[in-house]
Structure 1
Amino acid sequence: MKLSEFQRALVDEFGSQYGKSLASDLVLGELGGRTAFQAIEAGVPTREVWLALCREMGVPQSHWYGAGKPAPKR
Structure 2
Amino acid sequence: MRLTDFWQRMDQALGAGYAESWANDFVIESLGGRTVRQALAAGLDPKVIWRAVHRELGLPPSAR
TM-score when scaled to structure 1?
Answer: 0.81
Structure ID, larger Rg: 1
Greater RCO (CA < 8 Å, at least 6 residues apart): 1
- Between Structure 1 and Structure 2, which shows a larger proportion of strand residues? 2
Are 2:20 and 1:24 equivalent residues in the alignment?
no
Are 2:9 and 1:2 equivalent residues in the alignment?
no
- Extract structure 1 runs of 4+ deviating beyond 2 A: none
Instruction: For 1:27 and 1:15, locate their aligned partners in 2 and report how far apart those are by CA, in whole Å.
Output: 18
1:3-22: CA deviation from partner (whole Å, max 9, x where unpaired):
11111111112111111111
Tell me the residue number matched to 2:41. 41
TM-score when scaled to structure 2?
Answer: 0.92
What is the Cα-based RMSD across aligned positions, in Å?
0.9
Instruction: Report the number of matched residues.
Output: 64
Is there any run of 5+ residues in structure 1 with no aligned partner, and where? 65-74
Q: Identical aligned pairs, as a percentage?
A: 39
